[in-house]
Structure 1
Amino acid sequence: MNCEIIACIRGAPRQRQNEVLEYELRERAAIRKMKREETKMTLYDELVARGLIAQVTDEALIKDLINNGKATFYIGFDPTADSLHVGHFMALCLMKRLQMAGNKPIALIGGGTAMIGDPSGRTDMRKMLTPEQIQHNVDCFKKQMARFIDFSDDKALLVNNADWLLNLNYVELLREVGACFSVNNMLRAECYKQRMEKGLSFLEFNYMIMQSYDFYMLYQKYGCNLQFGGNDQWSNMLGGTELIRRKLDKDASAMTITLLLNSEGKKMGKTASGAVWLDPDKTSPYDFYQYWRNVDDADVLKCIRMLTFLPLEEIDKMDSWEGAQLNKAKEILAYELTKLVHGEEEAKKAEATAKAIFTGGDAANMPTAKLEADSFTDDEIDAINLVFGAGLATTKSEARRTIQQGGVSVDGEKVADIAAKFPKSMFEGDGVVVKKGKKSFVKVSVN
């Protein structure tokens, strides 16, 4: 505070002193705002602010690459299913952010590594897939990735590591690549420790070498200088940078993304019925919307920061939100992510459906379930089989407990008796709304 203001304050009445102090505080706030505007946040700064970065090999080098659009980077996706899921979602959003800043993404489909299986984060061995299953899954991945990444005009590449891994000569690989890896170092890697207790197969032990070889090949073929992955992939990624250094005498970089965990430390993207898929035929847009609408209060702002493209200034204002405001934040999260994955029209439908249901109305886009004719005995179905058949419980025991706890209603009437029966005629035509708890609704009809 300058001398003139100090003198003014000392010699003025208290009201005047307060006015001068308020003026000075406003001026300081204005100066801070001006300085923030002058110092534009870089892409790396934004990734840090959103809580996305876990580990980096060389921070200064990575900053220079991604902030200046000089990164040709890759993220690997093993096609172990016929759809991407929420676990892949953060990686796809990161690729989109970096591409928007002028960097070039390479989406590496693991058609070759899927033949082995990644042991990271697992206590059991992955199911072996046939080449035909893997190819089908690869084709499904390509369609879904195009919603996030612009592959036109060589702005991004989609490659399959089967193109080089499946043609490798085993003896040649041992001589050229195997000699670059220390078994002692590999056994210390976190990705192998969990499998060691139950028995790590030699097949899985080779996964780190295969992933490292991917980076080595992408560096040579496409000038790929940076790899991203989940922070459970750190050891595999370091293997790739070391292989490039030893074989090519070049520097390559690696950065891991923070895993999407809830407040209990568990991976997000799982429900009682399984994974939350990006394929609308496996997880409907409404169910996808509802998954995010129902996240815990403690997780909603973290998810908005990490997964949406809303400006950080807008998100920062939500930090003080409580109660009903947090419900509004959940609606924002659900809408933004559904729009990203399924498009704006489906996001609006899901939002309208949710609001219609929760205000006691009906909606054309409510999730549906169809009962088979053999679900009925003497043209009736009991409450347990109804809840189970509607997909509102994964087992009949769970359905029984839910009914006994008063958590089920059919056509607006609470079901109090597990022996209650409902005639087949109820479910003909448009069907009947079956509700579990406050948030799960299904319109049930008969085939």
Structure 2
Amino acid sequence: MLSEQSVPVVRATLPAVGAAIGDIADVFYRKLFDAHPELLRDLFNRGNQANGEQQRALAGSVAGFAGMLLENPDERADVLLSRISHKHASLGVTPDQYTVVHENLMAAVVDVLGDAVTPEVARAWDEVYWLMANALIALEARLYAEADVAAGDVWRSMEITDRIEEGAGSVSLALRPTGDRLPAPFRPGQYVSVRVELPDGARQIRQYSLSAAPGRSEWRITVKRAGGDGRPDGEVSSWLHANARKGDVLTVSAPFGDLGLAEHDGPLLLASAGIGVTPVLAMLDHLAATGATRPVTVVHADRSPDHHAHRQEQLDLVRALPDARLHLWYEEPGDLAAQASTGRADLSGLELPEGLTAYLCGPEPFMRALRGDLLHRGVPAEDIHYEVFGPDLWLGRQ
């Protein structure tokens, strides 16, 4: 909760800070990487820095947090910050790094806003920052404790035991810990980070959903080669496609992620598009393995049947559930998918039971459209969960 002294200052300056937050984020990252180039090389996603997504995500999270402090001062920030804390834990972020961020972020605020940053304004926004930072530090400490690791010590060596091509542009990798250890437990829907050393010496990190159920002797991730259609190739996904082979060893984090399948008997909607099918596969696999009988509506949209990663596996898992229905949409159905609809996913024609819990994963426009449909049909916002592959650009604007 903001102090009484800071509330009117933050309220008065939030419009100006909000209007300039994009510029502040740009200056902040430039200062941060000038002072600590190793952070861009070995921690931050260089692709998201280049396309500006990380800057927009930072701006949205700071503005959203400040707005929450003003409009809902008695609410805990855990919900807003949960996704960020899981991402930070999967990267091995430690409390001391928040001091480095603070120094460069406040310097960026002064650079952009100039004389408007009086000592009073600086103290108020300094308070906003440390309220947010300390909340994240506490959440991340809890996540590290639950994973039974020291702060930041999330990395383990895992051997690739199998590699399978999974549709056009996607490959699955089965992973087993080196030595005699079993893989750590996880909740269906969570992800791990994979750290690889690229030809220029950078150790870049990306997150991949675990695409099979927990409780097995191996983990599985599925990697879609990023890029194409005018977009630059993904550094890590391209490296994994070109280099990761059976018998190789990868550096992989403990599992994290706040998208986890709820353990109850109510009806489910599992909706995905493209490679967003991966956390849904883990959920379906878990439901089938545990003999679940709850009603499950499965929605998937993709470019074509050939691009639908794990297509046959998803069909088989849905058939294995006694009360599950699969609805497919392809932009280019072809002859292999006569039962599929053409175009983009549309929930308007589907019967959705009362008490539905929804899980969404895919490109932001897909999830935004489906979330809007669900809200319009009366599904409470708290029952709609989602996973974003990349910086969460929804924070602060839902």
TM range (shorter): under 0.3
Larger radius of gyration, structure 1 or 2? 1
Higher helix share: 1
TM-score by length of 1: 0.24
TM-score by length of 2: 0.26
Higher strand share: 2
